Amino acid sequence: MIKDFGRKPTRFSAFKMAGGAAMLAIAIAVSGCSTAPSTDGASAATSVSQTKPITKGQKIVMATHSFNVFIGPTRSRDPNVAPTPGPLAALAAERGKQGHEMLAVQMIGGSTPMQHWSQGDGDDAKNIAKAALLANGDKVDVFTMSPNAKMPEDGVDKFGDFVIAHNKNARIMVQSSWSAYDGHGTTPSVGGSGGGDFKNDDRDKETLANVEKWLANEKGPEGYLVRLRTQLDGIDKRAGHQITYVVPSSTAVYTLRKEVIEGHIPGVTKQSEMHRDPIGHPTTPTAHLVTYLWYAAMYRESPVGLKALIDPADPTSAQREKMLQQIAWNAAVGEPRSGVKGQPVKVG
């Protein structure tokens, strides 16, 4: 039995908060060498300093939604219980990345970067992401964004220029998320109205051929990843060097879907077991996969062999986690804008 990852918040997702409220911002504040952009949306050859493994724990500010927030501090449903560092921090600790710290998290369900930019209605003191970037200055190592279905998107550029102005040492890491409702609907923040009558169990009907099309389409000439890389090239050009990187969570999740269809993932027999609702919020395997990918992209080293997320009570956990790590590593090294260099590995 695959356990829920333990979160009840939400590219590509729209969700209604309890009581029918509109999007709710839940904010948690807790304690380069020159590269010329290319014309095809992928950066030109980067220097060794931009691709070598990172040994120092990173200081992170997140502007995110619920297809990504789970990599950060784990929140209790009890407001009197303080957040714990979370799964990405656990991986960093296992590898001795001293100083890894989530400086701030601004979470808006189903959000776009522009929604994060507008948080506080122009008062940067009320915008947790901007306030943290300003307060921590050169201390910030990583600023993360998780765009929605719209790409390019104005908020990506606005935050890019903000980081250029205030956080000269920071990398901007941008997640490409999997589609909400398996592409049957989109979030209201990009003009959608949800997924209609699409159900989580409908994912079990998805074919290998269709999932392979998703992978091909997002990397095609007009695909989401190409459009994302092209927008990030513009930020790098204004910075005068590469500061932006792609974290291809969509690639990793779609690859996991293929492996599940083919019956290769221990303890996961159906595609619906990867998500806990029609929108596509992750269960444990998907959340762990994305966390391993963020570790690989953030520290530029393979997550294969990490044990922090293994469940000793689950006899299928150790082998499954190894395969998730392998899928994550392959996604990282296969993305030309991840900053990660290495060879793909055989999954299994």
User: What pLDDT, on the 0 to 100 scale, is given for residue 50?
Assistant: 67
User: What pLDDT, on the 0 to 100 scale, is given for residue 194?
Assistant: 79
User: What pLDDT, on the 0 to 100 scale, is given for residue 45?
Assistant: 42
Question: Using one digit for the tens of pLDDT, what is the confidence trace for 295-344?
Answer: 999 999 999 999 999 999 999 999 999 999 999 999 999 999 999 999 99
243: left (phi over 0), alpha (psi -120 to 50) or beta: alpha
d(CA 171, CA 169): 7
Question: Using one digit for the tens of pLDDT, what is the confidence trace for 108-154?
Answer: 999 999 999 999 999 999 999 999 999 999 999 999 999 999 999 99
**Six-digit token string for 260:** 């599940």
The burial of 93, by beta-carbon neighbours within 10 Å (0-12 exposed, 13-18 middle, 19 or more buried), is given as middle
Token pair 């990506």 in the structure block, residue:
156
Nearest CA to 86 out of 336, 294, 338, 269 is that of 294
Residue 86: partners with Cβ closer than 8 Å, 6 or more residues away: 70, 71, 72, 73, 74, 102
- Which CATH architecture describes the domain 18-43+51-75+83-334? 3-Layer(aba) Sandwich (3.40)
Chain centroid to CA 175: how far? 4
29: left (phi over 0), alpha (psi -120 to 50) or beta: beta
pTM above 0.75, yes or no: yes
In order along its 348 residues, the chain shows pLDDT tens digits of 333 333 333 333 333 333 333 333 333 333 333 334 443 444 444 555 567 899 999 999 999 999 999 999 998 888 899 889 999 999 999 999 999 999 999 999 999 999 999 999 999 999 999 999 999 999 999 999 999 999 999 999 999 999 999 999 999 999 999 999 999 988 777 777 778 999 999 999 999 999 999 999 999 999 999 999 999 999 999 999 999 999 999 999 999 999 999 999 999 999 999 999 999 999 999 999 999 999 999 999 999 999 999 999 999 999 999 999 999 999 999 999 999 999 999 999
User: What pLDDT, on the 0 to 100 scale, is given for residue 49?
Assistant: 59
